[in-house]
Amino acid sequence: MKDEEVRFKQILAAQWTGATNGVQSYSMLGLSEDGRVFRYDPLCEGWIPWSMKIAGCKDSHKGRR
């Protein structure tokens, strides 16, 4: 899959506050034309596919969120 191109229907840039001293950063997500979700990784300088599996671990989170 290296050097493969992906075409997006939508790209989202979301600002969020990290756990390190309230430093703000950005997360780039993309929805491909075939429905896959990707996250941009600046260290890799490319898009990483995200698993779309439903997580069942929320019951162990504070506030069950």
Contact at 8 Å (CB) between 31 and 37?
Answer: yes
Residue 2 lies in a domain: no
Q: Which domain holds residue 14?
A: 8-64
Q: Using CA atoms, how far apart are residues 39 and 18, in angstroms rounded to an integer? A: 17
Total domains, the chain: 1
47 inside domain: yes
Q: Considering the domain boundaries, does residue 3 fall inside one?
A: no
Q: Give me the pLDDT at residue 54, please.
A: 81
Any domain includes 1: no
Rounded-to-integer distance, Cα 50 and Cα 30, Å: 10
Q: Give pLDDT < 50 ranges for the chain.
A: none
Please report whether residue 19 resides in a domain: yes
